[in-house]
Chains A and B, each alone.
Chain A
């Protein structure tokens, strides 16, 4: 993780990545981000020339899945190599240093790259018990975030936990976990949600930052529009089956074998904005829906509490609790009304006085 002054390209060359491969990668990246082809060149040049960007990665309440996604997606992935090539000054899981040395590295990185370093956070921030649920070197995640964030050049919330609170925030949220944006309000934060997120999105954001010195265009939830602009459903190759009304009803029926739509098996593709359907996973090998499982909606806020992964979007999210009581009350009300009406009729009948001819002649 050293030798900061050599450019990224030199470091990549060192690992056997030719300039040509790198240029091609940047061109793909640019097109994925809906940037003009010239941007690919610009990106390649900026990244090649860039002094290796200093990155501080703070792991909070997380499962390391996001780190795994990037470093081990498939080997050797270019994302992984670029990731290796950046100057990762602080990352609990990957760094060799430990204990006081690690904390010193952190402070040093902040001082040396004030206002320039990229701060990546994975995991949610515990706020319960003043944040005591999750500490590193005696400091709570909350304290650490407040210490580091003001000096960052760019902040990236990596994965659904950092972006939206994720699994730690799931009901009943015992640690009072929140998203990074719930704490950092005065600085733009790029959210790269996903459980885990797609590796190329992170390289894309990094490349954009290095090339243009700015963050890519973001949607309302702080996600780069280039990757989160469309739903899984709208780009899903099983979509024609959805439109034809052909659905797999179980995971092993004929429909499932024929590759029909997984909507009825709980696919959340229609409400999930992510790039899985186009970018795919593991170097473009496949993606969840292609392997036969519905989308869980992992890049959306609170996907964990979305009413069950195997319930279709049009099905109730919770079991109906009131129906039985309502039916009893409704029946009782109907019976009561019946008696009231009968009583009324009876009263009218007994109050009825027969009119005789004599009465009329009176």
Chain B
């Protein structure tokens, strides 16, 4: 298989398989999770300001007071790479072309040099966050195989995409194919690992906020 055939494979059958598994997994897990339900809480609800699902969705998106100072790497690093990933995935023109092709939706992109800069910053943040996880005994203790695995799954597409654009190590064609392949791996594993939080994060915040809100506890 030459590099062009490799590229055509990842753009064709490879993508087909990856998106298939992704869709299957996402629908399966979303339906399963959201139909689980809860036992009805028969106690009368208590009202308190700021105690609701919606409140929690917002409250949990900003760091609690004092926490940024306490663990700056976790918060700042976390914000930087999450926002960075969103910019790279949704505002790089070739990515928008893909989204438009798959869904019909499109929006303007950002200049590639800017996305390039964001990519470097994102990678740096991810590396810092990883080192923090290794360095801090508590974090290391709490880490399982899945944590290292999902970090790698997320990092590889960013790294290969950047290397392709920068013409590093391998010819562009091969690197582009590897980039697409790494995205496909990410798509395949996303529904079945903690990366599924991309779909459930706000739902679970809402859920927590609502249960506790019923008890009059703003969380």
B-binding residues in A (CB < 8 A): 221, 231, 234, 242-245, 247, 263-264, 270-271, 297, 300-303, 305-307, 311-318, 320-323, 325-327, 329-331, 333-335, 337-338, 341-342
Interface size on B, residues (CB 8 A): 44
For the complex, give the distance between the alpha carbons of A242 and B11 in Å.
Answer: 21
**Which residues of B152-196 have CB atoms within 8 Å of chain A's CB atoms?**
167, 172-173, 176
**Chain B interface, DSSP helix/strand/loop, else mixed:** helix
**Which residues of B61-110 have CB atoms within 8 Å of chain A's CB atoms?**
93-95, 97-98, 101-102, 108-110
19 sample A-B contacts, Cβ–Cβ < 8 Å, listed by A number: A242-B112, A297-B4, A301-B2, A302-B2, A306-B8, A307-B8, A307-B12, A313-B176, A314-B94, A314-B97, A314-B98, A315-B11, A315-B97, A315-B98, A316-B102, A320-B20, A323-B16, A334-B28, A341-B36
Q: A243-B111, A302-B8 are in contact. Are A338 and B97 (CB under 8 A)?
A: no
Chain B residue at minimal CB-CB distance from A219: B171
CB-CB < 8 A to A234: which residues of B?
Answer: 167
Chain B residue at minimal CB-CB distance from A230: B167
For the complex, give the distance between the alpha carbons of A219 and B167 in Å.
Answer: 16
For the complex, give the distance between the alpha carbons of A302 and B173 in Å.
Answer: 13
Smallest CB separation, A235 vs chain B (Å) = 13
For the complex, give the distance between the alpha carbons of A221 and B35 in Å.
Answer: 56
* CB contact between A271 and one of B22, B28, B35, B172 (< 8 Å): that residue: B172
Interface centre among B22, B97, B108, B110 (most CB of A within 10 A): B97
For the complex, give the distance between the alpha carbons of A317 and B177 in Å.
Answer: 12
Q: A243-B111, A245-B109, A321-B16 are in contact. Are A334 and B8 (CB under 8 A)?
A: no
For the complex, give the distance between the alpha carbons of A201 and B102 in Å.
Answer: 40
For the complex, give the distance between the alpha carbons of A188 and B159 in Å.
Answer: 36
Q: Say yes or no for B146: interface residue by CB 8 A criterion.
A: no
Q: Is B28 in contact with A337, judged by CB distance below 8 angstroms? A: yes
**Which residues of B24-52 have CB atoms within 8 Å of chain A's CB atoms?**
24-32, 35-36
The 9 closest A-B pairs by CB, nearest first: A334-B31, A330-B27, A322-B20, A330-B24, A317-B11, A326-B20, A314-B94, A317-B12, A318-B12
A-binding residues in B (CB < 8 A): 2, 4-5, 7-8, 11-13, 15-17, 19-32, 35-36, 93-95, 97-98, 101-102, 108-113, 167, 172-173, 176
